Structure 1
């Protein structure tokens, strides 16, 4: 979600090479494509909403009402919905540590994936207790179930790793502090986007009003990945490498 949709489209077009197209959801929502492959959606926040600009992952579910009930039964929060939205139903929620995520029931707009080709590289949940969070999301989203197509959950190099059809799509890392003054290390979902040249992406982002998170040598940056904020403050990471479970952050 962005404050100014045209400005956000220009920024991500230049930094990540996306081309934006409108959707059936109206003028306030568009989808970014990379060489014809859908990558992510950007929507405009209403001026009256005093919420932070952020990238939010949405997880596909079979039944939004059932999933929302599971979230609430486990002492987490459903902030909005489930509501009818375009070709499906959606809800916005937060887990027990406050990390925000969404759920989506219905056909994707359009059909996209994670962790392969030009799609987002992967998601990372930075949370207080990785194992507790993994159990929560497995119960709520049917991870590690016996049905065909379910995600597999493993423990690799001190991370809980989520794979779908062999591709790493997300990981969960413990140690985040709920009351930390730096929001970068509070419990939150974080998105990594592939770029061919990290230095070029960083220079372009800074030239368009974005900024690097941390100073040179800070753990928020490395040779093949750097965390950035867009001009609205939205936090994301650009990377030129495949997911590595032992990657520092």
Structure 2
């Protein structure tokens, strides 16, 4: 696997404020798709991140790490001391499980969907 970080979500109770800030600060183009707003860098055609609605226990930037086997990766994270916050969340491009590492940082383990 070349680079495991494949996506970033900014999870916020003030999603529209976050989107406006990212647009003003970095020139990222927003594209609202309902429960999230995709963010695309200037000159690019595909988004690299999204601003999302609030989730319990999760706020701020959440990196997505692509894994080959989501269930096995969640089990390995648990065995390694992570807290499992949400498992098997269905998204537009695959499934994710959100974990908190022993140091307190949140990340998503993500398995690409078959149609992607």
TM range (shorter): 0.7 to 0.9
- Cα separation, 1, equivalents of 2:58 and 2:78: 23
2:101 pairs with 1:95: yes
TM-superposed deviation, 1:29: 0.6
TM-superposed deviation, 1:39: 3.1
SS state at 2:17 partner:
helix
- Cα separation, 1, equivalents of 2:22 and 2:78: 35
- Specify the alignment match of 1:44 in structure 2: 53
TM-superposed deviation, 1:101: 1.0
Give the number of the structure whose alpha-carbon radius of gyration is greater.
1
Normalising by the residue count of structure 2, what TM-score does the alignment of the two structures yield?
A: 0.76
Task: Count residues in correspondence.
Answer: 102
TM-superposed deviation, 1:9: 1.2
- Cα separation, 2, equivalents of 1:98 and 1:65: 21
- Cα separation, 2, equivalents of 1:82 and 1:67: 12
The runs of at least 4 consecutive aligned structure 1 residues that moved more than 6 Å come to none
Unaligned 5+ residue runs, structure 1?
Answer: 112-249
2:28 pairs with 1:28: no
Bigger RCO (CA 8 Å, 6+ sep): 2
SS state at 2:110 partner:
strand
Unaligned 5+ residue runs, structure 2?
Answer: 1-10
TM-superposed deviation, 1:36: 4.2
- Cα separation, 1, equivalents of 2:48 and 2:93: 18
Structure with bigger strand share is 2
TM-superposed deviation, 1:56: 1.0
Match of 1:9 among 7, 19, 25: 19
Normalising by the residue count of structure 1, what TM-score does the alignment of the two structures yield?
A: 0.38
8 Å contact kept, 1:68–1:82: no
TM-superposed deviation, 1:52: 5.8
Aligned in 2, Cα 1:15/1:56: closer, same or farther, shift over 3 Å? same
- Cα separation, 1, equivalents of 2:54 and 2:100: 19
